[in-house]
């Protein structure tokens, strides 16, 4: 596709429910990143994929958070038993694996846990 | 530990005046450095990057950044600010290693007054 696509754009869920957030990266981009941003603040790193493997998932805040990537393309971030503190904008980005290339970001999924 | 620091949470500049948004980094080896901008309710957009060569790099919307290896800095600059430059700016570094996440600073909110 032309850019990084994230769905849904907005998600309101009840506390305790599970949610799945989807990221469709730019075709050919083997590197994929998930970040979390609260209230227009800084970016909190969650997980980095290189192809289908995740060499760095050090940023996942708890075992309620998991992510997978299949076919080296689409990635899903799953949050189980959501809590109010999970409310944030979840941003996905992709890039070529070459480290001197910039990442391209999706518009994000705004998650609100009520 | 690898990190990026943006020491100013907010920078206020009058329209037409020059602006500087500061960034320093701490990484092992030679880093690749990036600036991104985030307009309200939007994803991050790439502005410019330093890979090698000339220490002054030019990017989108008239922005430029100066790489200083001895001071480990990569400050963002613009000779004449516009009200439309008001946004949240992020400095980022990607270490030389090919399998690595992108490390972002905490962000600086730039406010340009008419």
With pLDDT > 90 as the criterion, what percentage of chain B qualifies? 76
User: How many other C-beta atoms lie within 10 A of the C-beta of residue A37?
Assistant: 22
Q: Mark the ranges of chain A whose per-residue pLDDT is less than 50.
A: none
User: How many other C-beta atoms lie within 10 A of the C-beta of residue B12?
Assistant: 12
Burial of residue B19, with CB atoms counted within 10 A of its CB: 0-12 exposed, 13-18 middle, 19 or more buried: buried
Size of interface A-B (CB pairs under 8 A): 61
Burial of residue A71, with CB atoms counted within 10 A of its CB: 0-12 exposed, 13-18 middle, 19 or more buried: exposed
- Model pLDDT, residue A26: 95
Calculate the CA dihedral of residues B24, B27, B30, B32 and round it to 10 degrees: -60
Query: Dihedral of CA A39/B104/B8/B67: which sign?
Result: negative
B7-52, pLDDT tens digit by residue? 999 999 999 999 999 999 998 877 899 999 999 878 899 999 999 8
Interstrand relation of A10-13 and B87-94 (parallel, antiparallel or unpaired): unpaired
Q: Do A91 and B46 make contact, defined as CB atoms within 8 angstroms?
A: no
Whether the pLDDT of residue B98 is over 70: the answer is no
Query: B56: which residues sit within 8 A by CB, 6+ positions away?
Result: B64, B65, B66, B67
Q: Do A42 and B107 make contact, defined as CB atoms within 8 angstroms?
A: yes
Please tell me which residue, A38 or B87, carries the higher pLDDT value.
Answer: B87
CB B109 within 8 A of CB B21: no
- Model pLDDT, residue A71: 86
How close, in Å, is residue B104 to chain A by CA atoms? 7
Give the A-side interface with B, CB within 8 Å. 4, 33, 35, 40-43, 45, 48, 50, 55-56, 91, 93, 95, 97-100, 102-108
Whether the pLDDT of residue B99 is over 70: the answer is no
User: Cα(B83)–Cα(A3) distance, rounded to whole angstroms?
Assistant: 27
Q: Do A41 and B98 make contact, defined as CB atoms within 8 angstroms?
A: no
Q: What is the mean pLDDT of chain B?
A: 92
User: How many other C-beta atoms lie within 10 A of the C-beta of residue B3?
Assistant: 12
Q: Do A35 and B104 make contact, defined as CB atoms within 8 angstroms?
A: yes
Tell me which DSSP letter residue A76 carries.
E
């Amino acid at each position: 596709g032309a850019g990084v696509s994230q769905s849904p754009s907005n998600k309101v869920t009840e506390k305790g429910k599970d949610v799945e957030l989807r990221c469709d990266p730019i075709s050919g981009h083997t590197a994929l990143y998930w970040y979390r941003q609260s209230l227009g603040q800084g970016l909190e790193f969650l997980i980095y994929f290189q192809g289908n493997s995740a060499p760095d998932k050090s940023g996942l805040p708890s075992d309620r958070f998991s992510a997978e990537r299949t076919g080296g393309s689409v990635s899903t971030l799953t949050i189980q038993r959501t809590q109010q503190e999970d409310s944030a904008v979840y941003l996905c980005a992709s890039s070529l694996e070459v480290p001197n290339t910039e990442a391209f970001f999706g518009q994000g999924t705004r998650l609100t846990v009520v | 530990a690898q990190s990026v620091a943006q020491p100013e949470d907010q920078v206020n500049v009058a329209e037409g005046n020059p602006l500087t948004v500061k960034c320093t980094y701490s990484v092992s080896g030679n880093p690749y450095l990036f600036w991104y901008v985030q307009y309200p309710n939007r994803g991050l957009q790439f502005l410019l990057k330093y890979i090698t060569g000339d220490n002054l790099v030019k990017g989108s919307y008239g922005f430029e950044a100066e790489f200083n290896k001895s001071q480990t800095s990569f400050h963002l600059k613009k000779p004449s600010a516009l009200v439309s430059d008001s946004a949240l700016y992020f400095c980022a570094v990607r270490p030389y290693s090919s399998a690595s996440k992108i490390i972002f600073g905490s962000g600086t909110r730039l406010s340009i007054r008419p």
